[in-house]
Structure 1
Amino acid sequence: MSKRGGSGKSADVALVATLLEETGDDWDRRSHRTSVLAEATADTGVGSAWVAREPDNADALVFHAWSQLARGLREGHLEDAGHLLSQCHQAAELRPEDPLPWVVLIGVSRIERYGMNDVNAVWREATTRDRWHREAYLQMLAYLSPEEGGSSASVLDFVDVVRARIPANAPCAAVELTAAVRQYQGLLAQGGVRAMTAGQLWQGGQIAAALEQAASLWVKPGFFQHAAAAADLNVLAYALCAAGRAADAHPVFEALQGVVTPWPWDVDGPAVQRFEQHMGKSERGRQGGIGGA
């Protein structure tokens, strides 16, 4: 949504409010809509207008907080972390069963680099309310990553725990593959020998096993039911292409039906262009009966 005048902004607020209200207590769908809408309107003032109009509305508070978080993650800092924390805690008091305020707080912890004990406490609050909350797991994964002040060992420990516990079709099922793609992209970014040998990441061990399981299960009709399934299928398609298995990615591209997410495709060019290039390779690979990219 673009920047608009008062009446236009009122219409935007009404639309967002309706879209979130429709999700009821479906925390997965509510989280997906909140994140997508908040990120799309982060620079428009829609969240500020809504919370100014309804300061005691839990949806308004979480939406505004998520908008602030989206901008903070993009810019690397928060304008007022204390106020954002206050809004999240107020929303949590107004709707105690909702995991979203706690998920936003994990995101805030990424920017402010709060200590692990504090973050674990917030993590427990979020996952107690929704055990397999996709966004909670992804925010925690990012907090633990070496790119944000964590470590590769912390990521591995987290992924090991996740792998042992979650159902194969849980909303957070793509956490392990997401971590692997981020590791792969990190190796490419380092250049030199690390970039040249990055493809070896997919060739054995647990990462190869995770990719194989995802390739065999995720595209089955009805296997995934969560709202952000298309985003996870984008990760799978990218990983298969990165592993030199373009032909195996063809069913994933077919399942996506042209739905492209910016990440992971946008790290080395326009996302849609890179997506289409790899989709073309997958089609040629399938016709030629080979797996290579």
Structure 2
Amino acid sequence: MAFLSSRRRRSRLAPELDDQDLGKLMKNLLATTRASTVGMTDMCVAQISRLLERDPGDWDRRAHRMGVLAEFLAGWRLPRSWATREPRNANALVLYAWSEVARARAYSQGSLEDAASVIDSCLRAAELTPEDPTPWVVVLKAARLEHWEQPQAFGVWNEVLARDRWNREAYLNMLSYLTPEEAGSRLQVLEFVDAACARMPANAPCAAMELTAQVLQYHSVLGRGGFEALVARNHWSQATAAQALDRAAHTWVQPGFLRHARALADLNILAYALMAADRRHEARAAFEALGGTVAPWPWQAGGDPLSEFEQAQQRVARGG
């Protein structure tokens, strides 16, 4: 039972994943706000700026850090205050816009309070840093919330790809946008995934798009309830789903194969899908690669993500 005991103790929800600098920043921000010191906003902004100014040109890392910070700060006034004080700071503008999107999803039932302000902030940031795809990523997120028509959404998606060909956020957002639950259809999802996978490197930052599409479809079947939900596991026996899972299971767990910022989030998707398909022996390698780092999605579909992760890990450890 060494696998169970060593992994279970360390299981933790870690939005920063393995980005230690990001994790330290989030702890420092909490400590600063709890201290209620004079100039608290200035101190927080200085810490955020230092991190976001590192690794220039690493758009994958930048999107990861910006997105985690936006979720973390969604209930704070800091992003809006920073953008107001520094209207020509691209980092401030993008963080404000992304935090508003995160706030809308978390607190406002998916509706932006001021969509025009969010879009305007992104466009100003894009003018200030024309090579950066991140402002366009946030526009795409806002477009989903605002139910933009497909030609507009694809136009924004193309702006991202012109700057970062395999941008993870862009592909995953378009994937969700094209589902029947949003603005598309099952056929559009299949065509989009097939077209992308025909050209995509196997270890691209957006490599999880194919398996994500299968998990979304699996969740759709579960959501129907009744008999379909009872036999939902059969989804993973279908050729397309099984092949996507095969490709990921055989490559992602290899040391150093996935090198992008959200690789551990993708390994969570793999572990979840393998368990859903009852391929527990293969799931062991994914859990070992994760080392207890839990991403909320897709575990949260079954309840508390940490509990779901640990229960799955225990089933792997028992071998049954």
Shorter-chain TM-score tier: over 0.9
- In the alignment, the residues of structure 1 paired with residue 136 and residue 65 of structure 2 have an alpha-carbon distance, to the nearest angstrom, of 16
SS of residue in 2 equivalent to 1:248? helix
TM-score by length of 2: 0.86
Q: Partner of 2:294: helix, strand, or coil?
A: coil
Match of 2:96 in 1: 64
Residues 1:120 and 2:154 are matched in the alignment: yes
User: C-alpha displacement at 1:10, in angstroms?
Assistant: 2.6
CA contact (8 A) 2:171 2:206 kept: yes
State the partner residue of 1:290: none
TM-superposition CA deviations, 1:183-238 (whole Å, max 9, x none)? 11121121112101211111131211110110010010110110000000000000
Q: Structure 2: where are the runs of 5+ without partners?
A: 1-28
Equivalent residue letter for 1:69: V
Alignment of 1:193 onto 2:193: no
Corresponding residue number in structure 2 for 1:169: 203
Question: Structure 1 segments of 4 or more deviating over 6 A?
Answer: none
Per-residue CA deviations over 1:146-193 (Å, capped at 9, x if unaligned) read 222322122111111111110100000000101111111121121112
Aligned residues: 286
List per-residue Cα deviations over 1:235-266 (Å, max 9, x = no partner).
00000000011121001000000000111011
Separation in 1, partners of 2:105, 2:191:
24
Which SS does the other structure have where 2:293 is aligned? coil
Distance in 2 (alpha carbons) for counterparts of 1:186 and 1:8: 45
More deviation, 172-181/158-167? 158-167
> Contact 1:247/1:283 (CA < 8 Å) preserved in 2?
no
Could you tell me how far apart the structure 2 residues matched to 1:12 and 1:136 are? 28
Q: Contact 2:104–2:111 at 8 Å: present in 1 too? A: yes
Number of the residue aligned with 2:166 = 132
1:52 corresponds in structure 2 to 84
Q: What pairs up with 1:197-216 in 2 under 5 angstroms? A: 197-216=231-250
CA shift, 1:73, in A, is: 2.5
1:1-80 equivalences in 2 (<5 Å): 5=36, 7-74=39-106, 75-80=109-114
Alignment RMSD (CA, Å): 1.4
Report whether the alignment pairs 1:103 with 2:137: yes
**C-alpha deviation, 1:269, in angstroms:** 1.4
User: How far is 1:133 from its partner?
Assistant: 0.4
Counterpart in the other structure of 1:93: 127
CA distance in 2, matches of 1:23, 1:110: 29
Partner SS for 1:247: helix
Letter of the 1:55 partner, please give it.
Answer: P
TM-score normalised by L of structure 1: 0.94
**Deviation larger for 155-164 or 254-263:** 155-164
Give the share of equivalent positions with the same residue, in percent. 50
Q: What is the alpha-carbon distance in structure 2 between the residues aligned to residue 187 and residue 18 of structure 1?
A: 45
Mapped pair 1:284 → 2:298: no
Deviations 1:40-71 (A, max 9, x none): 11111121121122110011111111101111
Q: Which runs of 5+ in 1 are unaligned?
A: 286-292
Give me the whole-angstrom Cα distance separating, in 2, the residues matched to 1:270 and 1:8: 33
Q: Which residue of 2 aligns with 1:289?
A: none
